[in-house]
Amino acid sequence: MKNSYSKWFKNLFVFGIVFALSCLKLSAQTSDSMAKPEKEFKNTIRFNITNPMIFGNKSIIFGYERILKNNQSFSINIGQTGFPTLNIIDSEELKSNTILSERGFHISGDYRFYLSKLNKYAAPRGVYVGPYYGYNSFDKGHNWTLNSETSGFSGDVNSELGLTINTVGVELGYQFVFWKRFSVDMILLGPGVGFYKWDLSLDTNLSPEDSALFFDKLNTALEEKFPGYEGTLGEGDFQKKGAKSTTSLGYRYMIQLGYRF
């Protein structure tokens, strides 16, 4: 009788273990089937924090990136920008008085390939490469005081300077993602070719000597701000009004803060 109870208890114990394991397995399968898949955030809106540092606080540019299949994406940036300050304000011969007008426009786009062999996570996190195009347009009206020791001229000069830049190239960048929603996008390297077009007009009649002095100071300042500028604006027919085009190496570098949705 005792052996019968003992055998029955052992069978019940084994049955209980099997039943418990079966319930746990069933529960795990049910939980897995009911668990919601992680939400994908394929869109990112961004703000460019680099341009205000270079072109001033009037430069406000927003961007948008959309993730496509196979770790690829495209992005577009658009906004207003300003002409950079020229480092000739403290010159004894040419001083800046007033900015009469100022406006600027920026639009750019790129197509990105996120390198899956180098990145642990899916796009848009990690290293990417791809082609880009950028367009910038600047216009700035300025009032200057010109003091010429050679001719003895001392007076105001008004200028209207315009610049358009088209740039095409290839970029290398890295994008960080924090807490699934926030991103820091860094374009680290962007060699390319820039096509520059300058327009300049003066509303003040100057002697050839005074014109040469004005353009010498202006060209020196432009050379410091724009790589590839040849420093010849104002020669010949350009002294009163004219335009000049040039082609040179371009570059792209920016940091953008983003929110994913």
On the question of pLDDT at 117 being above 70, the answer is: yes
Nearest to 91 by CA among 2, 217, 199, 258: 217
Could you tell me which CATH number the domain at 42-260 has?
2.40.160
CA distance 160 to 140: 6
- The pLDDT value given to residue 124: 94
Q: Provide the residue type at 174 as one letter.
A: Y
- The pLDDT value given to residue 93: 79
Q: DSSP label at 239?
A: G
pTM: 0.75
> 67-109, pLDDT tens digit by residue?
998 899 999 999 999 877 766 555 677 777 888 888 999 999 9
Q: Provide the residue type at 238 as one letter.
A: F
- The pLDDT value given to residue 87: 60
The length of the chain is 261
CA distance 56 to 245: 25
Computed on alpha carbons and rounded to an integer, the radius of gyration of the chain in Å comes to 32
CA distance 208 to 220: 18
On the question of pLDDT at 32 being above 60, the answer is: no
Helices and strands per DSSP (H, E), number in the chain: 3, 10
Q: Provide the residue type at 29 as one letter.
A: Q
Going 139 to 143 to 148 to 152, the CA torsion angle's sign is: positive
Band of residue 224 on the pLDDT scale cut at 50, 70, 90: confident
- The pLDDT value given to residue 242: 64
Residue 180 near residue 200, CB atoms below 8 Å: no
On the question of pLDDT at 151 being above 80, the answer is: no
On the question of pLDDT at 180 being above 80, the answer is: yes
- The pLDDT value given to residue 152: 72
Neighbours of 221 (CB within 10 A): 19
Top-confidence residue, 40 or 180: 180
Band of residue 17 on the pLDDT scale cut at 50, 70, 90: low
